[in-house]
Amino acid sequence: MTYPIGIFDSGIGGTSIWQEITSLLPIENTIYLSDSKNAPYGEKSQEKIIEFSIKNTELLLEKGAKIIVVACNTATTNSIDILRSKYDVPFIGIEPAIKPAALKTATKSIGILATKGTLSSALFSSTSEKFASDIKVVEQVGKGLVELIESGKLYSEEMTELLFSYLKPMIKENIDYLVLGCTHYPYLIPQIKKIVGQNVTVIDSGQAVAKQTNAILEKLNLKNFTKKFGTHQFYINTKKDVLQSILSDVKLNYSVNELDF
């Protein structure tokens, strides 16, 4: 099926998931919505997050999406049940990878960096309870990180200071795994690794989401079997410069469009 995979995030961070999806499924077409106008979702009420998720879903459906990837931990943990009950299209969500970290930790202490919206969600509490009740989970809200990434300040003094203030206390708690629970954060991995050092393994859920997307497309007979590489359309409801710069190394066939949604 040549219909596209629809992907949305509160902003440009979900492109980290888009990269994993296109590398596993190069033949598929994609449409990506960057709701940067409303970022960060992580500081909004659950009602607002649900409203934004519905708006994004409806636009992706209008554009012919055959499956929707909610490339945002905050939107997934706060709205995926409602989306699944409201629409027939299959949804893939993303959640912090607590389970693998909890299974592998030797120090019995793991860190999780995510938004307030994700850490305070019922879905996160139940996953944490289920898989990590016998270990220490050091939770940290990454307040301000999404805003800096959205405004193009990925490598800035403010970013370094915030990362130090969030990660140093975790190291004191002897974590050996750090779970990145926000799709913007993979862009911070080089800086995070410098701070946490070699004894801490940094993990995110990007590859797992790509594999799950593939599995569901296969199961529902929705895969694209054409012989051409896919084409990719990005829509953003603010100025497109920062999104364009984050995609500047991408060699695929894509276009970036500003659209008010």
Catalytic machinery residues? 72, 182
Options 8, 10, 30, 163; binder of ligand DGL; rule CB under 6 A: 10
Do 91 and 66 contact (CB within 8 A), yes or no? no
Options 183, 205, 213, 238; binder of ligand DGL; rule CB under 6 A: 183
Q: With contacts defined by CB under 6 A, name the span among 6-14, 78-86, 119-127, 217-225 that binds ligand DGL.
A: 6-14
Q: Among residues 2, 3, 1, 18, which one has the least CA distance to residue 256?
A: 18
Q: Among residues 204, 182, 183, 205, which one has the least CA distance to residue 193?
A: 204
Q: Which is nearer to ligand DGL, 27 or 208 (CB)?
A: 208
Q: Which is nearer to ligand DGL, 178 or 224 (CB)?
A: 178
Options 8, 18, 41, 235; binder of ligand DGL; rule CB under 6 A: 41
- Angle at CA of residue 91, ends 89 and 92, nearest 5°: 155
Residues 6+ apart with CB under 8 A from 186: 13, 16, 180, 204, 206
42 makes contact with ligand DGL (CB under 6 A):
yes
Q: Name residues contacting ligand DGL, limited to 53-82 (CB under 6 A).
A: 72-74
Residues 6+ apart with CB under 8 A from 51: none
Q: Which residues bind ligand DGL (CB under 6 A)?
A: 9-11, 13-14, 39-42, 72-74, 115, 118, 146, 182-184
